[in-house]
Chains A and B, each alone.
Chain A
C-alpha cells in the first residue's frame, strides 16, 4: 500500500473555528508539534487564505505574513502551505508568502471555475512551489464536471488535485466515484479534504484512500470549520490498524492535540467543533462549512431560525466565499416573518 501523505490544516481550516484569532505564538507552537509528529505538509493562514482577512470573512488578528513567519521560523522538515483563492487573494500575496518561507501553494476555486486559477497555478510552479489545486464544494456538481475541471488544473501545472468536500455533504459512494474518476483520468496524485458535518469525515477519507487518494487533509482533534475536519489523530489510528503507512507518529500526534492545541484553546475560551443542529444542517443542505459562525451571528442579529437560513442558502446555491448572502437571507426571512 502506498504511503498516505498527511496535510494538517489545524492552522488554516482551524482558523475558521477560532474566528481567525490565532496568534504568532500559537502558530509556532502548533506547527512545531506537528512537525515533530511527522506531518508532511502544514497549512497555515486565515481560513479564507491569503487576503482573507476582511469584513466579509472576519478580520484576522494577524497579517498573512505573520502567519507564514510564525510557522517558517520553527519548521525545518515539514513543508509549509499557504492557501490562495483567486478573487480574494492575488499573485502578489503569493509571491510575498513564498519570500517569507511558504513552499507549498494551495490554489483553490469553486468546482466549476478552475480557469480563474490558471495564472496563479503557473506562477506558483514558476516560483518552484509545490502546487496543489483544490476544487471546492465538489458535492454541487457531477463526477464528469469534476474530472473536466481537474484536468484543466492539471494542464496549468498543478501537481496534486484535491477533491474538497467543503460542505461535508458527500456520502461515501459519491467520494468513491469521484476519486475513481480522477485516478483514471489524471496522471498526478489525488487528495481529499473532508468535513465532519454528517459524521462521515473518517469514513469518506478512508474510501478516498482505498480508491487511490494519497493526500489527505486533517486537523488536530478535527479543529476546523463546521463540525470540523477529519481528525488527524483518529485518521492515524485507523490507518495504523489497517496497516496503511504514513509519516506520522500516533502518540506524538495525540500529544500535539492534547498538550498543545487543547490548553491553547482553553486559555482562549474556544471550544472544539462538535455536532450541533446547525453543523448537521450544513452537511444536509450542502452549505459551505465556514458559513457556520456567520449564520449564527446573522440569525441572532435578525432574530430568525439559523436552520431556515442554512436551508435557504442551500436552495440559492451559495458558493464558498459568499458570506454576504447570509446577511441578506437572514434579513429577508425576518421581513417575511413580520409580514
Chain B
C-alpha cells in the first residue's frame, strides 16, 4: 500500500478543520491515503493535535479557517469541529468551491453513509454530512433489512463508552438522536425511526455496541440474514472492526440485530469504535472524490 501511495504523483491536497480526537485520527488515516495528501491542519488555538501534525511535517495554523480559504490547491476539507462552527464554515467553503466532508451533526449537506448512498451522485454536491457514529453503524443494517423485508419502523440503541463521547456529543446529545433518526428515515428506507444513545462508564471501556430493532412487513429470516451478511462484508471494506455479535433474530415481525465496532487504533484507542467508524467513512468519501478529480478509473 505504501509503495503504491508513493507512486501516485499528483495527489489531491486536503485540509482538516478541528485538531481534536477525530481530527487527529483523520490525520493518521489520510497520511495513508492513495489519492489524498494532507496539506493543512487548522485549529483555533494551539493544541496537542497541531503539534502532532507539525511532527509529521504537515502545515498547521491556529488562526482558524481563514488561513486556508485562499489556498487554491486545497480541494477537500474535512470539518471535525462542531455543529455550530460548521454552520459558519459551510458558507465560506461553499463560496470558495471546496468540497466539504462534514463530520459534525450540523447536517447541512446530504447525509452520506458509504455502504448505502456512496456513488458519484452524492459527489456532485459540495457538502456531505457523515450523519453520526450511531448512524454510520446502524443505517447500513436497516437498509440491508429494508431492501428485502420492507421496514415499517426502525429503532436503534447506540451504547458508547463514556470515555469515547467527547464534549461535542455531550453538549448536543439531542442532535445525535434527532440527526440519526432523520437519516434512518431518509436513507435507510424505514417509514419511521427512533434513535437512543446510552453512555456507559464501565472500565475497561466498552466497545461501541449498537442494537438495531426493525419491524418488517416481510419477515423471511433467511433472506434477511443473507442481506445483512452481504452488507457487513461491504462495511468491512472500510471499517475492519465492524461485526455482528447477535442475530438477526426474528420474533413475530420484529428483527433484532446487535453489532459491535472495534476501532482500528490509528490514533484513538480501539474502544472508540464509534469515532473510528466516522473517520473511516469520511476518508472513504474523500478517497472517492479525490479519485474522481484525478480521473482515476476503477
Contacts and interface: CB of A to CB of B under 8 A. Distances in A.
Interface of A: 51, 54-56, 86-88, 90-92, 110, 112-113, 115-116, 118-119, 301, 316-319, 321-322, 324-325, 327-328, 331
Contacts of A112: 162, 201
Interface in B164-199: 170-174, 176-178, 194, 196-199
Contacts of B170: 113, 115-116
Main secondary structure of the interface of B (DSSP, over half): strand
Contact of B198 (A118, A317, A319): A319
Top 5 A-B pairs ranked by shortest CB distance?
A324-B211, A317-B202, A55-B213, A112-B201, A90-B174
B256 A327 contact: yes
A113 B174 contact: no
Contacts of A113: 162, 170, 199, 201
Contacts of A116: 170, 173, 199
A328 B174 contact: no
Nearest to A320: B198
Given A328-B245, A328-B246, A88 B196 contact: yes
A88 B213 CA distance: 15
Contact of B196 (A56, A327, A331): A56
Contacts, number: 82
Nearest to A111: B201
B199 A110 contact: yes
B172 A119 contact: yes
Nearest to A115: B170
Given A55-B213, A112-B201, A321 B174 contact: no
A331 B162 contact: no
B212 to A, nearest CB: 9
A54 B196 contact: yes
A51 B173 CA distance: 14
B155 A321 contact: no
B194 A54 contact: yes
B215 to A, nearest CB: 8
Nearest to A323: B157
Given A56-B213, A118-B171, A119-B174, A317 B200 contact: yes
B60 interface: no
B174 A91 contact: yes
A334 to B, nearest CB: 11
Interface residues of B, number: 32
B170, B249, B251: residue with the most chain A Cβ atoms closer than 10 Å: B170
B254 interface: yes
B296 to A, nearest CB: 42
Contacts of B172: 119
Given A87-B176, A91-B174, A113-B201, 9 more contacts: A54-B194, A56-B196, A87-B198, A88-B177, A317-B202, A319-B198, A322-B200, A327-B256, A328-B245
18 contacts: A54-B155, A55-B155, A56-B211, A87-B177, A90-B174, A90-B178, A92-B174, A110-B200, A110-B201, A115-B170, A119-B173, A301-B251, A316-B202, A319-B199, A321-B198, A324-B157, A324-B258, A325-B209
Contacts of B249: 327, 331
Contacts of B157: 56, 322, 324
A296 to B, nearest CB: 15
Interface string B229-262: 0000000000000000110010100101010000
Contacts of B258: 324, 327-328
B199 A87 contact: yes
Given A115-B170, A116-B173, A322-B159, A87 B201 contact: no
A48 B155 CA distance: 15
A118 B167 CA distance: 11
B254 A55 contact: yes
A151 B155 CA distance: 34
B58 to A, nearest CB: 32
Contacts of B245: 328
B184 to A, nearest CB: 14
B202 A331 contact: no
A61 B249 CA distance: 25
Contacts of B251: 301
Contacts of A119: 171-174
A321 B254 CA distance: 20
B155 A87 contact: no
A114 to B, nearest CB: 10
A322 B245 CA distance: 16
